[in-house]
Amino acid sequence: MKITLLTGKTFELQQALGEDIKVTISPRAKRLTLRIDSGNHQAILTIPPRCSKQTALDFVERHRGWIAKNLQNLPETVLFQNGESISVLGKTYQIRHLPEQHSGTRICEDYLEVCGQKEFLHRRIKDFLKKLAGEKFKELSQAKAAEIGCRVNRVCIKDTRSRWGSCSTKNNINYNWRIILAPPEVIDYLIAHEVSHLLHPDHSRNFWNCVRSLCPHCAQGRLWLRRHGKELFKYS
C-alpha cells in the first residue's frame, strides 16, 4: 500500500513516512490530524496546504506509537461463513449454505439462507445485505427527513473504507453497507446524523440538537460506533 499525496507536491514526504500512512492535503484543514482507515488498515494524515515537510514528519514521529497501537488493534479481514451468526438490522440470523439449491439469498425465520457454490457465498451475502440496506435505509431516511420538513433525493449504499455516511448539497445520502450489521440504535443514530445534514451542513449546536430530536438515544449509538465500529470492517 503506497502513500498518496493528493497535490503531488512533496514526493519526499511520501517516501519518508512509510507504507502505513496515506497523506492528504485539505484546503480546509487548519491543523495536522491523524485518523485510522479501518478498511485499508492504514493511517490517514491530513495536512494544511502550507504545512512544511519537516512539520509533518515531526508530527507523525510524535504519534508513531499511537499509529502502531491502533493499526495493531484492527480486526483481520474475514469472509462470511456457513454456520456463522450475524446481526442484520438488529436481529441475529445464522448463515445456512444450501449448495444444491438455486433460489438466491433470503431470510427465512432465524436463518440467512444462501444458495449456490461455496466460493460465491461471501459475495452473495454481501450483495444481499447491500440491497437490503438500500431499501431499509431509504425508507428510514425519508421518514426522518419528513419529521424535519426535508426531502431525501437519493440514498446510495457504498463500500467506503473510512466513512459511515455522507450527505451532499443535492440531498443525496450515502451509507456504508456494513452499518446494517450494527445494533438498531446505531443504525438509527447514523440515519439521524445524515438526515440532520439536510438542514445543517456542519456539526454546529443546531445540528446536534436536530440529531437528538430525531434520535433521543444518539449518544449511545455514537459511542458504540467509536468503540466497536472498526469491528465491522473485518468484512471485506
236 residues of the chain, pLDDT tens digit each: 333 444 455 566 656 776 678 888 888 888 999 988 776 778 888 888 888 888 888 998 899 888 888 887 777 778 999 999 999 999 999 999 999 988 899 999 999 999 999 999 999 999 999 999 999 999 999 999 999 999 999 999 999 877 899 999 999 999 999 999 999 999 999 999 999 999 999 999 999 999 999 999 999 999 999 999 988 988 88
Q: Nearest-CA neighbor of 160 among 146, 140, 177, 145?
A: 177
* CB distance 218 to 189 below 8 Å: yes
Tally of CB atoms within 10 A around 20: 15
Residue 112, H or E segment = strand 111-115
> Phi/psi class of residue 116: alpha, beta or left (left: φ > 0; alpha: ψ in -120 to 50)?
left
* CB distance 80 to 122 below 8 Å: yes
Superfamily of domain 85-234: Metalloproteases ("zincins"), catalytic domain (3.30.2010.10)
Residue written as cell 452473495?
124
Question: What residues does each domain of the chain span?
Answer: 11-72, 85-234
Residue written as cell 496546504?
49
Helix ranges restricted to H, the chain:
11-17, 53-62, 64-72, 121-147, 184-196, 205-214, 218-228
**Confidence at residue 10, expressed as pLDDT on a 0 to 100 scale:** 52
Q: Nearest-CA neighbor of 115 among 131, 96, 95, 101?
A: 101
Supply φ then ψ for residue 224, to 5 degrees.
-60, -45
**Confidence at residue 132, expressed as pLDDT on a 0 to 100 scale:** 98
